[in-house]
Amino acid sequence: MQILQAETFVAKRIICDHVRYVGGIDQVDVACRELLLVASSDRNTTCTLKNQRKKAEAEQSHKKQEGCVSHHIEELKKKKAKLQQDISSLEASADTLLTKAET
């Protein structure tokens, strides 16, 4: 992001220097073919960069969601193991109490 900001700053500086060189803003030829080609090329580049950024953000969001789901699954597995341990402990104590009650 900072590289893009630095390049933008340099481009603005070049434009200001050119405007001063030609003698003012009303002396700049904005209809020349080269300028139009560069402008359209920059627009295409900007659109491409935006699309790449959107894809990267979507992938990152997807990875985040996968991480959240896997974390939730791990927590559920831990709860299940604890519940199974509690069940076996309760069954053992119930067996003990049943044996005492029978005698």
Q: What is the 3-state secondary structure (H, E, C) of 66-81?
A: HHHHHHHHHHHHHHHH
Q: Tally helices (H) and strands (E) across the chain.
A: 2, 0
Single-letter residue type at 16: C
Question: Domain range spanning residue 15?
Answer: 1-29
User: Distance between CA atoms of 57 and 29, rounded to whole angstroms?
Assistant: 40
| pLDDT for the residue numbered 84 | 93
In this prediction, residues 9-28 reach a mean pLDDT of 88
| pLDDT for the residue numbered 99 | 87
Domain count, the chain: 1
Examine residue 4 and state whether it is found in any structural domain, yes or no.
yes
CB atoms within 10 A of CB 72: 10
Examine residue 41 and state whether it is found in any structural domain, yes or no.
no
Examine residue 7 and state whether it is found in any structural domain, yes or no.
yes
Examine residue 18 and state whether it is found in any structural domain, yes or no.
yes
| Band (2; pLDDT cuts 50, 70, 90) | low
In this prediction, residues 75-88 reach a mean pLDDT of 92
Examine residue 16 and state whether it is found in any structural domain, yes or no.
yes
In degrees rounded to 5, what are phi and psi of residue 9?
Answer: -60, -45
In this prediction, residues 4-24 reach a mean pLDDT of 86
User: Distance between CA atoms of 20 and 27, rounded to whole angstroms?
Assistant: 10
Examine residue 15 and state whether it is found in any structural domain, yes or no.
yes
Q: DSSP assignment, residue 103?
A: -
Examine residue 95 and state whether it is found in any structural domain, yes or no.
no
| pLDDT for the residue numbered 81 | 93
| pLDDT for the residue numbered 82 | 93
Examine residue 49 and state whether it is found in any structural domain, yes or no.
no
